[in-house]
Structure 1
Amino acid sequence: MIDYWDPLPTARRLVESFNEPAEELFTGRWEQRNWRNVPGPFYAGETDSLAIGRLDAANHICYDDDLGGGFGSEFIYRQPANERETEAVIHGCRLELYRGYNWDGNDHWTTETVRGWWRDRSRVRQWAVAIAADWGADTHPHWGYNADPRYLGHYHDAAQGHRDFVAYLDDGLEAYLRGYLFWLEQQRQPRPGEALPHL
């Protein structure tokens, strides 16, 4: 198992194949990032509320409920760990109408802020458990016009993403973040058997 894999070389090669400059694709601002984004190079700042990023990157993108009963913004709940996953994340970012994602998280995260995010993980876990239960239900009388049954499948898919996020928080994210801490400190991937920093 690789504790941290740097997705940016693959991401840059992929973006170079588009007819769209990277600075136009990635315009999200660090100061506006969603607090639910897990540490790593990719994150969502202010995004639209169309909630379609999971169409390409269901294993990486979730939606929040900051607009009440309806979808709010997107965020990265799992960073890519191989070329296939990186491609999925890039395509998920491209679906976002306002281009609110960015890939410059490595310029902002520090060992202290990563550890701080991890210490506060119970906040995001409690939120994800609650929203998964709400959006996973079959009726939503408290949602008003957003309770239209035509949207039920979309909400159920979003709830699955929240459940996947909780599972990752419980098993997998800690190992990734320890590898990411190593990368932030050493600017390279850890070698097999090399000691990793503690969270």
Structure 2
Amino acid sequence: MGWDPVGELTAEDRKLFGGRWEERLWLNVPGPFYTGETDTCWTGRLHAPDNVLYAAACESVEYVFRQPRDAREVRNVVAAAKEEVFGEYACDGDLWWTPQAVRQWWAERARVAEHLVGAQTEWRGRDRFEDDALIGVLDFQAYLAGPLAADLRAYLFRLEEGRYPEAGERLPELD
């Protein structure tokens, strides 16, 4: 898994990613891509439903709930960034996330889970946008309870070793 998702970006793509770490929404999953104070136009999931979700309490502020897993998903996140009128998507998370910060985010995942429970209640059966957001919430809940831990361990390896692990390599612990 030596793939670098940011390496998929062209010079033109990179111009779309003007978000600032200081403005990062706490719900963003650790990784190279994240969002700050985005618009409220409900466009992120139209382009990147496997990666972008809306924060319930923030009236549809977008955030990255799953880092892109392949070139197609990177392209989808690029498309979401292109539609975001405030330019608050960012792709420099690798410069800011530290192993300690990733572990801290993971230690506070109950806060994320609590937010998702509230989002489920808020969006259940309101209209088609909220129905799509609810699908995303359910996806994020399953991801948080399942494969996210392994993905974050691989990301920790990347931060510590400068590359993603090869099959069979020992991964750092999250706790």
Normalised by the shorter chain, which TM-score bucket?
over 0.9
Instruction: Give the SS at the match of 2:118.
Output: helix
Instruction: Give the SS at the match of 1:62.
Output: strand
Instruction: Give the SS at the match of 2:57.
Output: coil
Instruction: Give the SS at the match of 2:40.
Output: coil
Other-structure match for 2:14: 22
- Provide, for residues 111-138 of structure 1, a one-character-per-residue CA deviation record: whole Å limited to 9, x for no partner: 0000000000010111112211220134
Instruction: Give the SS at the match of 1:66.
Output: helix
Q: Does 1:189 align with 2:140?
A: no
Q: Does 1:109 align with 2:88?
A: no
| Equivalent pair of 1:56/1:91 in contact (CA under 8 Å) | yes
Gaps of 5+ in 2: none
Q: Does 1:33 align with 2:33?
A: no
Give the distance between the partners of 1:127 and 1:8, measured in 2 at CA: 28
Other-structure match for 1:125: 113
Give the distance between the partners of 2:7 and 2:17, measured in 1 at CA: 15
Give the distance between the partners of 2:103 and 2:14, measured in 1 at CA: 29
Report which of the two structures shows the higher radius of gyration computed on alpha carbons: 1
Q: 1:168 to 1:5 in 2, by over 3 A?
A: farther
Deviation of 1:50 (Å): 0.7
State the aligned residue count. Answer: 174
Instruction: Give the SS at the match of 2:173.
Output: coil
The TM-score, its normalising length taken from structure 1, stands at: 0.83
> What do you get for the CA RMSD once the two structures are aligned?
1.5
1:138-177 to structure 2, matched below 5 A, reads 138=126, 152-177=127-152
Other-structure match for 1:145: none
The TM-score, its normalising length taken from structure 2, stands at: 0.94
Amino acid in structure 2 at the alignment position of 1:126:
E
Give the distance between the partners of 1:72 and 1:80, measured in 2 at CA: 20
